[in-house]
Copies of this chain bind each other. A is one copy, B any other.
Amino acid sequence: MNQLLRNNIARHVSLSEDQLQQFHDLFEPRLFKKKSYFLSEGQICAHEGFVLKGLFRVYHVDAKGVEQVLYFAPEDWWIADIDSFSNQKPSNLFIEALEDSEVLVISRKNKDLAYEHFPAIEKLFRIMTQKTHVALQRRMIDNLSKTADKRYQDFLAKYPDLYNRLSNRQIAAYLGISHEFLSKIRNKLAKEK
C-alpha cells in the first residue's frame, strides 16, 4: 500500500487496513515521460490517476489556439477529466506531464467496482469533488474580482513550491493573461522592491 495514497484517503474518510489494501489493488503504476500525455482532446478518459511523483498540467485549447490551464497536479493530486471519465464521452481537455512522472491509475471499471463494494470510497470521492469545487468557486471569484497583478502574487503565495517548477508561460495560462503581460507584471513587482 502506497503511503502517499493512504494518507490522501485517510485525510477524508476512514477505511480498514484490509479495505485500503483491496482498493489499492485496483490501481496500477504507470510512468509518464515529460511532454507525454495522460489524456488528449478527443480521447475518452479511461483512467483516473493519483500522482505519486512529477507534475501535470490540465488545460483546454480554445478556438484561437490559446491554452487555458484549469489546474496543475503535482504529487498527491488526482488527475482526470471527470466529465469524460464519468460519462465516457470524448474529452476536450489535455493532461500533459511537465516532468517525468509516476502515477497510480485506476480504470473506470475498477472504480465502479470500488464504489460498489466500499461505500466509504463513494463518500471519499464525494468529499474530494466538493473540495475541488469549493476551490474552483474561490478561484472563479478571484478571477472576477482581482487584477492579474494580485492574482499572480496570490498564486506565488499559495503554490510556492510550484513556482520553480513552472515556466512563466504556464503560470500566465493559469492566470488567464498573455505571457508578455505577466513579464511586465514581474518587472513592475521587481522594481517595487
Q: Which of B66, B126, B132, B137 contacts A145 (CB 8 A)?
A: B66
Of B60, B126, B129, the residue contacting A141 (CB under 8 A) is B60
Contacts of A119 in B (CB 8 A): 119, 122
- Which residues 122-150 of A have a CB within 8 angstroms of B? 122-123, 125-127, 129-130, 132-134, 136-137, 139-141, 143-146
Interface band, chain A: 20 to 34
Confirm or deny: A62 has a beta carbon within 8 angstroms of a beta carbon on chain B: yes
Write the nearest CB–CB distance from A71 to chain B, whole angstroms. Answer: 9
* 23 A-B pairs with C-beta separation under 8 A: A64-B145, A66-B145, A68-B141, A68-B144, A68-B145, A70-B140, A70-B141, A82-B134, A83-B130, A83-B137, A115-B123, A119-B119, A122-B122, A122-B123, A129-B129, A129-B133, A133-B133, A133-B136, A136-B136, A136-B137, A139-B140, A140-B140, A144-B176
B contact residues around A110 at 8 Å (CB): none
New A-B contacts (7) at CB < 8 Å, excluding given A115-B123, A136-B136: A66-B145, A70-B141, A122-B122, A129-B130, A136-B137, A140-B140, A140-B143
Interface assignment of A21: CB less than 8 Å from any CB of chain B: no
Q: Which 5 A-B pairs have the closest CB atoms?
A: A126-B126, A144-B176, A62-B145, A68-B144, A83-B134
Q: How many copies does the complex hold?
A: 2
- Kindly state the separation between the CA atoms of A145 and B86 in the bound complex, as whole angstroms: 25
The complex places the Cα of A88 from the Cα of B63 at a distance, in Å, of 42
Interface string of A80-101 (1 = CB under 8 A from B): 0011001000000000000000
Which residues of chain B have C-beta atoms less than 8 A from A68's C-beta? 140-141, 144-145
